[in-house]
Amino acid sequence: MKRTPVGVFDSGIGGLSILKALRAELPHEDFVYLADSGPHAPYGERDNAHVIERSRAITAHLRARYDIKALVIACNTATAAAIHLLRDEHPDLPIIGVEPALKPAVAHSRTRRIGVMATRSTLGSAKFCALVDSLVGQADFICQPCDGLADAIEREDTIKIIALCAYCTGAIGQFGTNDGQIDTLVLGCTHYPFASEHLRTLVGPYVRLIDNGEPVARQTHRMLKILASGDAPGECILLSTGDGASLRNAARHWLALECPVELALI
On whether both 93 and 218 belong to a single domain, the answer is: yes
Q: Tens digits of per-residue pLDDT, 88-146?
A: 999 999 999 998 999 999 999 999 999 999 999 889 989 899 999 999 999 999 999 99
159 in the same domain as 128:
yes
113 in the same domain as 205: yes
48 to 75, 117, 204: CA distances (angstroms): 13, 20, 35
In a domain, 86, yes or no: yes
* pLDDT at residue 2, rounded to an integer: 57
Q: Which of 256, 255, 247, 214 is nearest to 34 (CA)?
A: 247
pTM: 0.88
Least confident of 106-120, 130-144, 198-212, 227-241: 227-241
State the catalytic residue, choosing from 75, 146, 165, 168: 75
Residues 69, 19: one domain? Answer: yes
Residue 130 inside a domain? The answer is yes
Which CATH number characterizes residue 156's domain? 3.40.50.1860
The answer on 168 and 135 residing in a single domain is yes
Residue 86 shares a structural domain with residue 111? no
Mean pLDDT, the chain, integer? 93
- Is residue 189 annotated as part of the catalytic site, yes or no? yes
Average of pLDDT values for 29-38? 94
Angle at 144 (CA atoms; ends 188, 100), nearest 5 degrees? 20
Mean pLDDT, rounded, for 1-20: 90
1: in domain? no
Q: Is the pLDDT of residue 233 over 80?
A: yes
Q: Are 44 and 82 in the same domain?
A: yes
Q: Percent of the chain having pLDDT more than 70?
A: 99
Q: What is the pLDDT of residue 155?
A: 86
pLDDT above 60 (res 1): no
Q: Is the pLDDT of residue 67 over 70?
A: yes
Q: Which domain holds residue 22?
A: 6-98+214-263
Residues 204, 50: Cα–Cα separation, whole Å = 38
pLDDT tens digit sequence for 253-263 = 889 999 999 99
Tell me, yes or no, whether 177 and 221 share the same domain: no
| Overall size of the chain counted in residues | 266
Query: CA of 182: how far to CAs of 106, 109, 111, 238, 260, in Å?
Result: 12, 9, 7, 38, 42
End-to-end CA distance of the chain: 21
| Active-site residue identified among 143, 165, 189, 236 | 189
Asked whether the beta carbons of 95 and 86 are under 8 A apart, the reply is yes
Last residue within a domain, chosen from 176, 191, 211: 211
Residues 19, 92 share a domain = yes
Residue 89 makes CB contacts below 8 A (sequence gap 6+) with 56, 59
> What is the CB neighbour count within 10 angstroms for residue 257?
17
Domain contains 112:
yes
Q: Average pLDDT in the 209-222 region? A: 94
- Residue at a domain's end among 211, 228, 250: 211
Would residue 24 count as lying in a domain? yes
The tally of domains found in the chain comes to 2
Q: What is the CA radius of gyration of the chain?
A: 18
pLDDT of residue 230: 72
Is residue 224 domain-shared with residue 93, that is, in the same domain?
yes
Q: What is the pLDDT of residue 262?
A: 95
Domain limit, last residue, from 187, 211, 235: 211
In a domain, 252, yes or no: yes
**249 shares its domain with 183:** no
75 is catalytic: yes
Mean pLDDT along residues 144-164? 94
Q: List, in sequence order, the alpha helices (H) in the chain.
A: 16-25, 48-66, 76-89, 102-108, 120-123, 126-133, 149-154, 158-172, 196-203, 213-223, 245-255
Q: What is the pLDDT averaged over residues 60-86?
A: 95
